[in-house]
Amino acid sequence: MAGALAGQAGAVTGGARGIGREIAAACAVAGARVAVLDQDAEGARRAAAELGDGALGLGVDVTDAAAVAEVLAEVDATLGGLDFLVNNAGIRHIAPFPAHDVDVWRRTIDVNLTGTFICSQAAVRIMLPRGRGKIVNLASIAGELALRERAAYNASKAAVVGLTKSIATELGSQGIWCNAVAPGIVETPLSAEYFRDEAMTRTIVDNTPLGRWGQVHEIAGPVVFLCSEASDFVQGATLFVDGGWVAGKGY
């Protein structure tokens, strides 16, 4: 989608690595001025440097409302606008439900859900006076199909889908779009353990109609679409980018 975001400016949270980094790169290729936001400030700066002139790398904890507001204001001032926000920052913990630590539960909900709320709210406050803005939230197939030993992650991603619908419903008439992308199993540093386990790789292949797992660039393209004018009649939707995993759960 070269040129799809020409003249626009936006921010990607959790953009220092993995899917977030690929999304930031794809937005830049599409013509946008991009701010890479990450708790790893140095990683954010490195990622922005790789995007070239016009990119900005900033450290921020998405659960800190004051810090998020300050950083997005800086993005707006430095890049000359805030046309889109991609809420990609997230964490995951694997543990049997009886042993799931409550503090880890709280932190997962705080980052994945509350962080998405905080960043979206701060962005909306900038976008509303201008009458237009797009928010894309990273959900997961785990928000639709519960994955074992991931109670907090499943719950947080299901809630992100609900938050997406809430923002879209309430603010659509005021020029704010909000949609979500729900990836399936994608090869990233976070999921590297899957591909070292022969049984897990067989499970992925057997449950995916396309017969393989995804690559980060295959998530970035749909995100660019949802940030662009090409998606102007898409509102409150969750796009499953999962090789057909969710669709194939019938019989």
The catalytic site residues sit at: 153
**Which positions ≥6 away from 3 have C-beta within 8 Å?**
30, 31
- What residues does 20 pair with on adjacent strands? none
Sheet holding 176-183, edge to edge: 56-59, 33-38, 9-13, 84-87, 133-138, 176-183, 238-241
Q: 36-64 burial string, b = 16+ CB within 10 Å, else e?
A: bbbbeeebbbbbbeebeebbbbbbbbbbe
Between CA 233 and CA 251 the distance in angstroms is 32
Residue 114 · residue 159 · CB < 8 Å: no
CA distances, 210 to each of 134, 142, 205, 214, 245 (Å): 30, 18, 8, 10, 8
